[in-house]
Amino acid sequence: MSILNILRYPDPRLHKVAKPVTVFDEKLKQLVADMAETMYDAPGVGLAASQVDVHEQLVVIDVSETNNQLQVFINPEIIWSSEERKVYDEGCLSVPGIYDDVERPSEVKVRALDIEGKPFELYADGLLAVCIQHEMDHLKGKVFVEYLSPLKRNRIKAKLQKEEREMSKKAARR
């Protein structure tokens, strides 16, 4: 297993739309293992393949306190969402250090494939529902900051670009 590089907003590759997974092989299992290791190392509770520059419909999530309940969603689709909406303070591994309120349906039902290609459905509420919706947005090329006002989004973009320049300068000095 290995730690993968997580793309940082505003990297344009984060806006690529992911394609469905069609091959369920050892390469896919390795990608899932690497994504899980990357997510736990970051640390985070969810990671979409798009965030590691693999534009396939694959998401890993673990909202457990003990990091031992990994869930894999391949080609996920939300087949039902509640009318009730809730505001959650969201963050993202591709937008490090930034958290803001995003309103989403409070409950969802998702249909997906597992690592073997077998279909399943799952009802989710609370943090899991938020995480599923957040990660599925990545597969559509959308980052959570796009739910924020243009002013906030531009401030975040400027802040992260400045951090990126400073990190590049430090790396160049080594």
Active site residue 135: yes
Q: In whole angstroms, what is the distance from residue 116 CA to residue 28 CA? A: 10
Nearest to 106, CA basis, from 91, 88, 92: 88
Q: How many CB atoms lie within 10 A of CB 135?
A: 23
Tell me whether residue 92 is annotated as binding: yes
Tell me whether residue 55 is annotated as binding: no
- CA atoms within 13 Å, Cβ hemisphere of 136: 19
* 97 SS3 class: strand
Please name the residues in contact with 64: beta carbons below 8 A apart, sequence gap of 6 or more: none
Stated as kind and residue range, the H or E segment containing 86 is strand 85-92
Stated as kind and residue range, the H or E segment containing 136 is helix 126-139
In sequence order, the β-bridge partners of residue 80 are 109
Instruction: State the catalytic residue, choosing from 121, 135, 146, 164.
Output: 135
Tell me whether residue 15 is annotated as binding: no
In sequence order, the β-bridge partners of residue 59 are 48, 73
Q: Which residues make up each annotated binding site?
A: 92, 134, 138
The catalytic site residues sit at 135
- Please report, in range form, the residues annotated as the binding site for Fe cation: 92, 134, 138
